[in-house]
């Protein structure tokens, strides 16, 4: 389930390493570009929960990320 409050987002999906950056592909097929800033990036191709601030139409500045089951 995806949740948002103003510009803050909490999204669940599959973390994918793209050509230029990491992206999150959600169950509803939406794709979000992720800016991890100084956060540690988990291994790609896993389901993750991402929390952060929406910085563009399809971009998130990630505050926190963790693997889900």
Q: What is the CATH number of the domain that holds 25?
A: 2.40.50.500
Size of the chain in residues: 69
pLDDT level of residue 9 (50, 70, 90 thresholds): very high
Single pTM value for the model: 0.85
Flag whether pLDDT at 2 surpasses 70. no
| Neighbouring-strand partners of residue 32 | 24
What residues have CB less than 8 Å from 9, skipping those under 6 apart? 2, 3, 50, 51, 52, 53, 54, 60
Q: Which residue has the tokens 């139409």?
A: 57
| Each residue's pLDDT tens digit, 15-62 | 999 899 999 999 999 999 999 988 788 888 999 999 999 999 999 999
What's the domain count of the chain? 1
DSSP 56: S
Q: Which domain holds residue 33?
A: 3-67
């Amino acid at each position: 389930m995806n949740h948002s409050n103003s510009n803050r987002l909490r999204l669940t999906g599959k973390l994918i390493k793209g050509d230029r950056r990491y992206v999150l592909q959600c169950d509803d097929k939406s794709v979000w570009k992720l800016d991890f800033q100084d956060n540690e990036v988990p291994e790609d191709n896993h389901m993750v929960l991402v929390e952060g601030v929406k910085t563009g139409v399809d971009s998130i500045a990630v505050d926190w990320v963790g693997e889900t089951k």
